[in-house]
Amino acid sequence: INTLIRANVNDLVRRADEPERALDGSLRDMEESVREARARLRVVERNEASLLRQWEQRRAELLDWEERAMEALRSGDETLARECLVMKKRAESTTQRLEEELAQQRAYMADLARSLDALQVKIDGVRSRRQAISSRVSGDQSAPGPVVEAPQGGGFTFNFGDSGGDSSPREE
């Protein structure tokens, strides 16, 4: 009977190691996902900065063409004023398209940042669970393990978190 009980205890300890390894694998996968997402976020931020510069240039161009059209009208050259207004309209169209792209880029950045935050919370939770399992397996006093009693009042009690580190059955 002692051999059977020790085998069961050893099996419980072995199974306790498996969740630890599974959590380690999950942590590695999630941390890799975080690294990839952060790299993607940096690319998206650079793209957003580039779009913003383009928008500023097109906006300045739009205002320049508007000013040129006004000057042409003041000097009495309606043909030149019309040409300037056509160019202003083109710059306005480009500016509007860039504004839409900027809005999409910023929404994507916000979604990506929220996803990163959520993933970090999950990682923290998995780390906590892994630490709790590790503490129970190592017999850490700060996190006592579960007490397993033999059915039918067999008189055996297992405590996997006791300070003596002895997980063998004790007769009561």
- The pLDDT tens digits of the residues spanning 82-126 come to 999 999 999 999 999 999 999 999 999 999 999 888 888 888 888
Distances (CA, A) of 123 to 114, 131, 134, 172: 14, 12, 16, 42
**Of 133, 170, 131, 154, which Cα lies nearest the Cα of 13?**
133
Q: Which pLDDT does position 13 carry in this prediction?
A: 55
d(CA 14, CA 46): 49
pLDDT score for 118:
86
Q: What is the pTM of this model?
A: 0.59
How confident is the model at residue 128, as a pLDDT? 86
Q: How many C-beta neighbours within 10 Å does residue 161 have?
A: 19
Note the pLDDT of residue 15: 56
Q: Which residues contact 61 (CB under 8 A, 6 or more apart)?
A: 91
Residue 150 and residue 136 in contact, taking contact as beta carbons nearer than 8 Å? no
Predicted pLDDT of residue 138: 72
Please report the pLDDT score of residue 143 as a whole number.
45
Chunk the chain into consecutive blocks of 10 residues (it has 172) and report each block's average pLDDT, rounded to whole numbers: 57 61 79 89 94 96 96 95 96 96 94 89 85 74 46 42 44 43
